[in-house]
C-alpha cells in the first residue's frame, strides 16, 4: 500500500469539501488529511476513497462518509489523553481519526469477521486502538467510565448502559432513529442529569440488538 502525492492531493480536495460543508475544527480536518482512507477500501475501489460518500466494506457494512466522521468527531470535542469508546468499529477508520485527535480509543464490533479483519489490519498501518468483539449496547463496563462515547451505527434509542458509562461532564454522540437518524449529542451534567441537543438527519447502518453475528 502506498500513499502517493496523488492520494495526498485528493485528500486536500476532500478537506476543502468538508470545510465547505461546515466543519471548522482544525484538529479534525488535520486528522482526516493525515489518514490514507484508501487503505481502508479494497484495492479495486481506491478511486472512491476521497469522494465524500459512505462505501461498502464487506459483511454488509460501510465505512462512514468522511463528512459524517468529521461531524461526529467535531461534536465530541476531544482533548488529548481522553478515554473514548466507539461503538461500531467497522473498517476502523473512525477509530484512527480519534487516535489522531489524541484520544485513548476503545472500540467494539459485533461482527466477528469484521472485528478480526480490522484487528489484524490497523496495526499494519500504525494504529493501535483497543479492539473488542462484543455488543455495543452493553458498552465496556470493565473499562468505564469514558470521557466521550461515539456510536457509529443508527440506534433505535439511546442505550442506557452507554449513558451510565459516561463520566460527569462527558459527551455521547449517537445517531438515533430507524430508517433516518437524528444526530444527538448528550452531555452528562451530573449523575442524574443529562442535556441533549439535536444536529440534523443522517443515515447509518443499524445498531443491531442481538448478540449473534449479523450477516
Ligand atoms: N466506524 C466505522 C463505520 C461503522 S458502520 C468506520 O469508521 O468504518 C457500523 C458498524 O457497527 C458495523 O461494522 C456494524 O457491524 C457495527 N454494529 C452494529 N451493531 C452493533 C452492536 N450492537 N455492537 C457493536 N457494533 C455494532
pLDDT digits (tens, 9 = 90+) for 166-210: 999 999 999 999 999 999 999 999 999 999 999 999 999 999 986
Question: Can you give the pLDDT at residue 215?
Answer: 42
pLDDT tens sequence for the chain (215 residues)? 799 999 999 999 999 999 999 999 999 999 999 999 999 988 777 788 999 999 888 877 888 999 999 999 999 999 999 999 999 999 999 999 999 999 999 999 999 999 999 999 999 999 999 999 999 999 999 999 999 999 999 999 999 999 999 999 999 999 999 999 999 999 999 999 999 999 999 999 999 986 545 44
Specify the 3-state DSSP secondary structure of 205.
Answer: coil
Rounded CA-CA distance 74/54 in Å is: 18
- Cβ distance 183 to 72 under 8 Å? yes
Tell which atom from ligand 1 comes closest to the C-alpha of 114: 13
CA terminus-to-terminus distance, the chain: 28
Tell which atom from ligand 1 comes closest to the C-alpha of 91: 8
Best of 113, 122, 152, 155 to mutate for ligand 1, by most ligand atoms within 8 A of CB?
A: 152
Of 130, 78, 68, the closest CA to residue 100 belongs to: 78
Rounded CA-CA distance 143/113 in Å is: 24
Q: If one looks up domain 51-202 in CATH, what number appears? A: 3.40.50.150
Given the residues 64, 73, 91, 185, select the one marked as catalytic. 64
> HSE on the CB side for 67, CA within 13 Å?
16
Residue nearest atom 11 in ligand 1 by C-alpha distance:
88
Question: Can you give the pLDDT at residue 211?
Answer: 55
Domain boundary assignment for the chain: 51-202
Q: Could you check whether the bond before residue 145 is cis, i.e. omega within 30 degrees of 0?
A: yes
Q: Is 64 a catalytic residue?
A: yes
Assess whether the C-beta atom of 152 lies below 6 angstroms from ligand 1.
yes
Question: Can you give the pLDDT at residue 177?
Answer: 97
Assess whether the C-beta atom of 87 lies below 6 angstroms from ligand 1.
yes
Query: Who's near 44: CB < 8 A, 6+ residues apart?
Result: none
Assess whether the C-beta atom of 93 lies below 6 angstroms from ligand 1.
yes
Rounded CA-CA distance 214/146 in Å is: 27
Alpha helices in 63-201 (DSSP H): 66-76, 93-100, 112-121, 160-164
Amino acid at each position: 500500500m502506498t500513499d502517493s502525492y496523488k492520494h495526498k492531493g485528493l485528500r486536500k480536495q476532500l478537506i476543502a469539501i468538508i470545510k465547505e460543508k461546515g466543519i471548522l475544527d482544525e484538529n479534525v480536518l488535520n486528522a482526516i488529511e493525515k489518514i490514507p482512507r484508501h487503505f481502508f477500501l479494497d484495492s479495486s475501489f481506491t478511486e472512491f476513497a476521497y469522494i465524500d460518500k459512505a462505501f461498502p466494506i464487506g459483511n454488509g457494512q460501510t465505512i462512514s462518509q468522511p463528512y459524517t466522521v468529521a461531524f461526529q468527531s467535531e461534536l465530541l470535542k476531544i482533548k488529548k489523553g481522553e478515554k473514548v469508546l466507539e461503538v461500531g468499529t467497522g473498517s476502523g477508520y473512525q477509530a484512527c481519526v480519534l487516535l489522531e485527535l489524541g484520544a485513548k480509543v476503545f472500540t467494539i464490533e459485533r461482527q466477528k469477521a469484521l472485528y478480526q479483519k480490522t484487528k489484524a489490519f490497523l496495526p499494519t498501518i500504525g494504529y493501535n486502538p483497543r479492539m473488542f468483539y462484543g455488543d455495543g449496547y452493553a458498552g465496556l463496563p470493565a473499562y468505564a467510565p469514558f470521557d466521550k462515547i461515539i456510536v457509529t451505527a443508527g440506534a433505535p434509542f439511546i442505550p442506557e448502559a452507554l449513558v451510565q458509562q459516561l463520566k460527569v461532564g462527558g459527551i455521547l454522540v449517537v445517531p438515533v432513529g430507524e430508517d433516518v437518524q437524528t444526530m444527538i449529542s448528550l452531555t452528562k451534567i451530573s449523575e442524574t442529569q443529562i442535556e441533549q441537543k439535536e444536529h440534523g438527519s443522517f443515515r447509518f447502518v443499524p445498531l443491531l440488538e442481538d448478540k449473534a453475528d449479523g450477516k
